[in-house]
Amino acid sequence: MSKTFTLPNLCSHVRIAVDGKAFRVFSIKYTHPKETSEDEWTLLRGTTEHPIIVDKETMKMLAGHELQWLYKDDTTLNTEPSIMACEIVKKELDTI
């Protein structure tokens, strides 16, 4: 049996430019990257087609869980849809 928890993205409207490429941002703690230092952000690879930037506190919440990203429809402004939320599937051990 498993439970699903939905974590809203407070930075769904934000992109960070790194070396000429715009990365989507996901955070359940901050509404904008300027609210904390640059060192508090990291690149998350392998859960979406393109890497996203996530704050380290949020990464702790996501670690070790199955993730399902929830997107907003693409706009002409951005080539990738905004990440609106993340569903975490938390698997529970079966009990006898």
Q: Does 96 fall in a domain?
A: no
Query: Does 13 fall in a domain?
Result: yes
Residue 52: which pLDDT band, with cuts at 50, 70 and 90?
very high
Q: Is residue 30 part of a domain?
A: yes
User: How many structural domains does the chain have?
Assistant: 1
Q: State the pLDDT confidence band at 74, using cuts at 50, 70 and 90.
A: low
* CB environment 8-18: b (16+ within 10 A), e (fewer): ebbbbebbbee
Amino acid type, 94 = D
- 76 assigned to some structural domain: yes
- Give the model's pLDDT for residue 96: 52
Instruction: Please give the residue range of the domain that contains residue 80.
Output: 2-91
Query: Where does the pLDDT of residue 64 fall: very low under 50, low under 70, confident under 90, or very high at 90 and above?
Result: confident
Indicate the pTM of the whole model.
0.85
Classified as helix, coil or strand, 27 is coil
